[in-house]
Amino acid sequence: MSETEKKNQKLTQFWKYHIKQWSESGMSQNAYCRQNDLRPNQFTYWKMKFKSQALVPEFVQVPSTQINQALSLSGQKGLTLNTDNGFQIEIPDGFSQTTLAQVLQVLRRC
């Protein structure tokens, strides 16, 4: 492996690490960049680069206490899910679990 390839591999690993940490942090992109001395424009470039490489989506379990807290702050009944590929799913209180499972199966194929 050439020095250029090694450098590119390290750079790719660096940005994958930071994008993963940011996505798990709950922080805004700008706040994360400020905290970690990263340039927001570079962050956006790498995020879009990885997104275009069709990374497999990961589902993250969110504790129900966080969901309940967010709902009580918003005054909204139900839940709205926004996906990276631009879908927005509004789930009202008393939703059908079967229907949600079917919708998630379809989204996994996108």
| CB atoms inside a 10 Å sphere around CB 94 | 7
Beta-bridge partner residues of 53: none
**pLDDT per residue over 46-97, tens digit each?**
998 888 775 566 777 877 777 777 666 666 667 777 777 777 778 787 777 8
Q: Would you state the pLDDT for residue 74?
A: 63
State the average pLDDT over residues 18-33.
92
Find the helix or strand (DSSP H, E) in which 89 lies. strand 88-91
CA angle 24/110/27 to nearest 5° reads 15
Task: Estimate to the nearest angstrom the gap between the alpha carbon of 51 and the chain centroid.
Answer: 10
pTM: 0.47
- Domain ranges (residues) in the chain: 3-52, 64-109
Find the helix or strand (DSSP H, E) in which 90 lies. strand 88-91
